[in-house]
Structure 1
Amino acid sequence: MRKLHLKNENYQYLEASFKEWLDILGYAESTVYNLPNHIRELLYYLEQNNINHIKQLDNQIIKEYYNCLKLRSNDRKGGALSNGSLNKHLQALYKFTDYLRQNGRIILPKLTIDWEQDDTGTIETLTPQEVKLLYKATRYYPRNVKHAKPEYFFEAIALRDCAILTIFYGCGLRRNEGYHLQVNDINFDRQILHVRKGKANKERFVPINKMNLNYLEEYVYDGRPILIKDKTESAFFIGERGKQLMAQSIAIRLKILQQRTDDIVLQEKNVRLHVLRHSIATHLLANGMPLENISRFLGHTSLESTQIYTHLIAQQDENL
């Protein structure tokens, strides 16, 4: 990060206020630290170009600044900034303009700067067929073998693993959202899942289709009561020891399902919980769901965060 010093007191205040805004919204500590540092570069650019009041800022100036950013060197590694670094600056720009709008400081049209293709490769997703293989793998539990636990215990584990796929794929929850999920957060009558504390402390309601509702009902009413020891436990996911299943253990269960499949291509993929979320987003978009609906479904704070899936669909089409 470049060590830039702002002389404009109004810009100093804006940077501090933006940081406080991110903190109040509940963003991660690293985000609260890094995004204002990126915005300091924008404010420094304004100073150097005699743009001394934030109300003079417009989208054209932001685009000119971003083009300069793409040309400047990486202070630590040399060469140009990586696409990943540029995307972090873009994230800061999109959030900063949101901050300016919401605080009434300046009303800017939505930015239309495309995200850079990630240097590490495209976003990993699964095909619908691969997702079906994971669901099928939940039924591959030990049978006709002497274990310390009876067969119905492993049947309960299978129902729980199926519920894991349903929450993170079928409902598109983030890892922490799924980990903190409570039994009472699912309203089976209304077919709605309540995410009480999503990213940036935002809550949302996620619709559940009939098939996914059946999977969740089977776990809650048939599987979970077998696993749980303390009847007062409110956590949705229960582990083999009868207590809340930890986030890392949920991720491990997904890896186990992946290895149970007989699909070599699937087994070689880096399947993570967030890959399930990416997958449902691309599948919904490919099936014609409007981008705005997918954005609400995922709990994105802005439509720009969802637009990455349109680029992903386009890349997949080009590879066909």
Structure 2
Amino acid sequence: MSKKRQRKPITPVDDATDKHGFQHFINIHVDDLRARNYSELTIDNRSKYVRRFALWCLARGITRPNEITKPILERFQRHLYQHRTEQDKPLSFRSQYAHLSSLRAWFKWLARKNYLLFNPASELDLPKLGHRLPKAVLTANEAEQVLATPNITEPLGVRDRAILETFYSTGIRRGELAGLRLDDIDAERRTIMIRLGKGKKDRIIPIGKRALSWITVYIESARGELLAGVNEPTLFLTNEGEPINPDSLTEYVRRYIDDSGIGKRGSCHLFRHTMATLMLEHGADIRYIQAMLGHAKLTTTEIYTQVSIRKLRQIHELTHPADHDREEPDPDDLKATGDDSDAAA
């Protein structure tokens, strides 16, 4: 069997045996989240943000959660707003929101479990998040340029072409692609099974013929060379025969996008945006896109209706009066007009 990635030991923020200290309650909260079947990603993020707050408190002589008041939380909120990263950039409001929402959830849990007499974060105002559009979306031609970048004369190049084709065809998340198993691919029905996607939900989605063909080529011609005699059910493998890591996927896809020369930046999620936008522009119903992407709420998917500009542009050209019954200016005429004006001056 392949080696499992070892979790790095986390240094406690204070004495974990102190039943009134931060680390003690962080540990209990983590155990409770696991008992309620929260994903490890959610648990890691929650504990990470609470730990950062605890370290900030300890540096200021605040050693117990029951010492926390709303003014202290507001001081921490101002600290996040004023904080600068190693690149001397401020934290985004989305990052500030993630910190504070995790804290609010933690204090709500402490109060509900009667570890605290009251919840100091109950009236903490969170930053207002803007409705952001994806930074970039590929055109169909640009997507083809990226797909053609891997060197398919090598096993890793065949693997990477199959990975890119799968991202483009299905729009799945990088963690979902990394978790695909051989038996999740149904070539006859042309579907893939996403197991324990976001929210720990399974779903079955279609995959295109071309992507499926590249997966077949990868399995038949390249995957065996990567296995190195190890019995591993995961579909996409490293050159050591181990399951590919989501962070590695980000690096691979970003490199191929940069090497393609299209002049746009992005990684795995760029293909997710591209798939949704292009399918909408070609007439797909938004609820179908919602099912493909695994969004719990339609409002999350509706952002792609704003990115999909082609139909809106067509309607604008057909209906706006400025584009009808008027002649477009001739650049040569404008130039001549400018020359006459200069002469008269």
Fold equivalence (TM over 0.5): yes
Shift of the 136–123 alpha-carbon distance from structure 1 to 2, 3 Å rule, reads same
- 2:220 is the alignment partner of 1:221: yes
2:183 is equivalent to residue 184 of structure 1: yes
Question: Deviation digits for residues 72-99 of structure 1, max 9, x if unmatched?
Answer: xx96349xxx9758998xx99xxxxxxx
The 5 Å alignment of 1:28-39 reads 28-29=42-43
Q: Which residue of 2 aligns with 1:272?
A: 267
Q: Is the 8 A contact 2:186 2:192 kept in 1?
A: yes
Inter-partner Cα distance in structure 1 for 2:256 and 2:77: 44
Correspondence for 2:304 among 309, 312, 318: 309
Match of 2:146 in 1: 134
Equivalent residues of 2:281, 2:310 under 8 A apart: no
TM-score, reference length from structure 1: 0.58
Alpha carbons of structure 1 residues 242 and 85: separation in structure 2 relative to 1, 3 Å: closer
Structure 2 counterpart of 1:254: 253
Give the match for residue 239 of structure 2.
Answer: 240
Show CA shifts across 1:220-255 (max 9, x none).
Answer: 112211221134111111122232222222222213
- Per the normalisation by structure 2, the TM-score is 0.55
Aligned-partner SS, 1:194? strand
- Deviation, structure 1 residue 23: 5.3
**In 2: Cα distance, 1:117 partner to 1:87 partner:** 14
What is residue 203 of structure 1 aligned with on the other side? 202
Match of 2:291 in 1: 296
For 1:83 and 1:239, the matched residues in 2 are separated by 36
Q: 1:167 Cα deviation (Å)?
A: 2.2
CA contact (8 A) 1:87 1:116 kept: no
Task: Report whether the alignment pairs 1:168 with 2:167.
Answer: yes
Could you say if the C-alpha distance between residues 33 and 286 of structure 1 is closer, same or farther in structure 2, counting changes exceeding 3 Å? farther
Of 114, 117, 125, 2:131 maps to: 117
Letter in 1 for 2:166: I
Q: Structure 2: how far apart are the matches of 1:254 and 1:213? A: 19
Contact residue 86 and residue 116 of structure 1 kept, 8 A:
no
- Take 2:271 and 2:184, find their aligned partners in 1: how far apart are those partners? 21
Asked which structure has the greater CA Rg, the reply is 2
Q: Give the Cα separation in 2 of the matches to 1:315 and 1:116.
A: 24
- Secondary structure of the structure 2 residue equivalent to 1:167: helix
Task: Give the AA of the match of 1:304.
Answer: T
Deviations 1:122-150 (A, max 9, x none): 432222111100111123x6xxxxxxxxx
**Matched residue SS, 1:206:** strand
Cα deviation 1:22-81 (Å, max 9, x = unaligned): 9546472377789xxxxxxxxxxxxxxxxxxxxxxxxxxxxxxxxxxxxxxx96349xxx
Residue 323 of structure 2 corresponds to none
- For the residue of structure 1 that corresponds to 2:189, the secondary structure is coil
- Taking a change above 3 Å as real, the CA distance of residues 277 and 294 of structure 1, as seen in their structure-2 partners, is same
Given that 1:23 and 1:32 are in contact with CA atoms closer than 8 Å, whether structure 2 keeps it comes out as no
CA 1:128–1:291 in structure 2 vs 1: closer, same or farther (change >3 Å)? same
| 1:99-118 deviations in Å (ceiling 9; x for gaps) | xxxxxxxxxxxxxxxx8433
Give the gaps of 5 or more residues in structure 1: 1-18, 35-73, 93-114, 142-153
- CA RMSD for the aligned pairs? 3.9
Question: Given that residues 181 and 236 in structure 1 are in contact (C-alpha distance below 8 angstroms), is that contact kept between their aligned partners in structure 2?
Answer: yes
Unaligned 5+ runs, structure 2: 1-31, 49-75, 83-91, 103-128, 318-345
Indicate conservation of the 8 Å contact 1:83/1:117, yes or no.
no
1:259 to 1:85, Cα distance in 2 relative to 1, 3 A: closer
Letter in 2 for 1:297: M
Q: Secondary structure at the match of 2:192?
A: strand
Partner of 1:97: none
Distance 1:196 1:155 in 2: 30
CA separation in 2, counterparts of 1:201 and 1:178? Answer: 15
Amino acid at match of 2:157: A
Alpha-carbon distance between aligned partners in 2 of 1:295 and 1:278, rounded to the nearest angstrom: 12
1:260 and 1:313, CA in 2 relative to 1: closer, same or farther beyond 3 A? same
The whole-number CA distance in structure 1 between the counterparts of 2:216 and 2:164 is 14
1:262-318 C-alpha deviation (Å, 9 max, x unpaired): 43x2xxx32111111111111111111101111011111121111111122249956
* CA distance in 2 between partners of 1:31 and 1:285 (Å): 33
